[in-house]
Structure formats: structure tokens, C-alpha cells
Amino acid sequence: MKILILRLSSMGDILLATPVPEFLKKIYPGSEIHWVVYKNFEDSIRNNPNIDKIIAIEKADDLTGISKFIRSSEYDLIFDLHKNSKTYFLTSNLKNVFRYNKRLIERFLLVFFKRKYNIIPATKMYFAALNKAGIKTPDKWDLGFYPDPDSETATVRKYGLEKEPYAVFIPGASYFTKIWPEEYFKKLAEMMFLEDKFKKIIVVGKGKNEEMTGRFICGESNEKRVNLTGKLNLDETAAVLKYADIIISNDNGPMHLAECFKKKTVAIFGCTTEELGFFPYSTDFKVVEMKGLKCRPCTHFGRKKCPKGHFKCMRNITPESVYKTITDFLK
């Protein structure tokens, strides 16, 4: 049996979809599974043993050739877990195409009219595409990321990850309204060191903003505050997360990377809420959020700025409240 999965981006969404090929391999032993993904997110699934072929495309690619390849491959089942104009084009007029439900109407009503609906984790929404094909899916799952073993060993050795307990801060996010203020992260680090809860805090992330935040939180890197923003590839980041004792993160892709390794996670959610389905459900986690704030959620993915101008969803989450969540979590 040949199966095609389409999920083009982004890292977090791709990782949340990895239980799908793992489950398909279990129920269809010997099946051949292909995955279409944007090239800049290919490393999220590069070493996944449940994926036999990765079809990596550029965003600007002419999709005609890829569409012809898909048509000539004669897939028995096709699961569109992205459902946008490109995946429609790639799979148009093909048989046995099953698309996941983005729940766009429910999301619209939630964001603009605050009409709440039942919570369905993103992975379960992806599994629902399999249900359309008559496949009964599990209620529990694990996310899958498979780092290169040599890279992991080298990273552990280089940064002494097995020597002492450490926490990881992931202060970045794809949108401003998902970012807890950097000065709050810095204050949290100071509180954690005062109580001697951890000997070391490592800050990870990529991009210019994350690198600036890392420098702000850590100052000059030393044995206690280690700024690795902008210095790690995905496999190396995975190693740092895998050996950590606890993760403190905004709602972002690396949070779900930590979820792959079942790491205790304190997730800070601002403009988005649980109804959207992106809490790290497959690990041991706590969420810090401003429940009851009437303007939440103001979007289903994030904004460049707070539409109200006050940014209470993040500003009102104090370092003290996050620190208390951490200490209660670790008792």
C-alpha cells in the first residue's frame, strides 16, 4: 500500500502530525508512506523511520511537476493535513483524498464572538482525516522526532548536558502576541537562581529577535546562564531539550519538539487559548495564561501587535506566577 501525507509547515504543526504515519505503519505493515513538506521544514521529519520518502518543495516552486509525480505514483490513500490552495492543487481530481477539518467556522466564532466550542487537540484533528477513510484511530499518541545520534552525542559532550540539572527557556515565537516579555524571562531566571532550584539555564531559539532576547536574558554567557540562541541546528536543539529537567516556553515549534521527548513543560499562552488545540497534550505540562480575559483569543495563530494596545494577555502574567507554577510542578 502507498500512502501520501501532505503537511507543508510549520515545525510545530508537522510534529503534531507525526503520530499519523506512526499509526499507519502499525495498521498497514509494509506500507510505503510519502510526505510532502516545504524544504525549510524538512529537517522536522528527515530521520523519521515511519516516512519512506520526503517530497520537499520550495514555496515558490511551480507545482505542476510535483502534481504530475503524485498522479503517476498511484497512491492508495492520500491524507491532506494542511488543506490550503497548494495541497488542493496537488491532489485535485484524485481518488481517496481525505482532508482534515480546520474548523474554520468554529474558529471564526471563537475569535470574533467568543463562542466557545469543544476542545480537540490538533493531533486528533489530523487523525479525523483518517476517520473519514474508515480508519479507527487511537485516543493517545506520542509525537515523533528522531535526531541524528552522532549529533546528539556531540551536543551532550560539548555543553555538558548530563553534568547537572538545568532548565531551558524558549522565549521566541512566530508572532509578537505569543511572546512573553523578555524582561519577565530575565526576572524569572533571577528568581530561579536565588532559590537555587537550578544551577544552569539554557536559552535556545533562532532568528534575530531570539538572539537579542537571549543576550538580554543571559548577558555575557557563563556557566549559569548559557545563551545558545542562533547557535544550534534542529538536532542540536533537540539534544538540549531532551536532557533538560524542565522547559519554560512560549507557544512555539520548539515547545512541541520538547513534547516529543516527554519533557515537563511550563507553557505560556497569550493571545491563543486551549480551544484552538495546541496545548502540549502528549507530555506532562502546565499552562500559564490569563483566563477570563475577555479579548482572548484575538486570533487563532498570532498577531504582529496587540489589537487592544494593552497586551494584558502576556503583560499580566507575572514572573512570580510562572515561578510558582514551576515550583509546584516540581514538588
- Which of the four pLDDT bands, split at 50, 70 and 90, describes residue 149? very high
* 114 and 262 fall within a common domain: no
* 255 and 308 fall within a common domain: yes
Which residue intervals of 195-233 are DSSP H helices? 208-218
Residue ending a domain, among 75, 97, 132, is 132
Please state whether beta strands 265-268 and 246-250 pair in parallel, antiparallel, or not at all (unpaired). parallel
* 179 and 309 fall within a common domain: yes
Residue 279 CA from chain centroid, whole number: 9
* 108 and 216 fall within a common domain: no
Residue 102 lies in a domain: yes
* 298 and 170 fall within a common domain: yes
Which CATH number covers residue 51?
Answer: 3.40.50.2000
The beta strand positions in the chain, using DSSP E, are: 2-6, 32-38, 53-57, 77-80, 97-99, 166-170, 200-203, 225-227, 246-250, 265-268, 285-288
Tell me 131's DSSP state.
H
* 96 and 204 fall within a common domain: no
Beta bridge partners of 97: 78
Q: Which of 252, 250, 257 is nearest to 283 (CA)?
A: 257
Q: pLDDT tens digits for 151-204?
A: 999 999 999 999 899 999 999 999 999 999 999 999 999 999 987 778 899 999
* 205 and 321 fall within a common domain: yes
Average pLDDT over residues 230-245: 98
Distance, in Å, from the CA atom of 285 to the CA atom of 118, rounded to the nearest integer, reads: 20
Domains: count for the chain? 2
* 59 and 184 fall within a common domain: no
Residue 142 lies in a domain: no
Residue 210 lies in a domain: yes
Q: Give the range of the structural domain holding residue 108, as residue numbers without chain letter.
A: 2-132
* 198 and 81 fall within a common domain: no
- Which of the four pLDDT bands, split at 50, 70 and 90, describes residue 75? very high
Residue 140 lies in a domain: no
Distance, in Å, from the CA atom of 296 to the CA atom of 114, rounded to the nearest integer, reads: 8
pLDDT of res. 221: 74
* 153 and 33 fall within a common domain: no
Report the predicted TM-score, pTM, of the whole model to 2 decimal places: 0.96
Residue ending a domain, among 132, 164, 180, is 132
Residue 63 lies in a domain: yes
Please state whether beta strands 166-170 and 265-268 pair in parallel, antiparallel, or not at all (unpaired). unpaired
Residue ending a domain, among 104, 132, 160, is 132
Distance, in Å, from the CA atom of 159 to the CA atom of 3, rounded to the nearest integer, reads: 40
Residue 94 CA from chain centroid, whole number: 30
* 72 and 153 fall within a common domain: no
* 198 and 114 fall within a common domain: no
Look over the chain and give the mean of its residue pLDDT values, rounded to a whole number. Answer: 96
Residue 7 lies in a domain: yes
Sheet with strand 200-203: strands edge to edge: 225-227, 200-203, 166-170, 246-250, 265-268, 285-288
Query: Residue 85 region, left (φ>0) first, then alpha (ψ -120 to 50), else beta?
Result: alpha
In angstroms, the Cα distances linking 230 to 63, 128, 306 are: 32, 37, 27
- Which of the four pLDDT bands, split at 50, 70 and 90, describes residue 62? confident
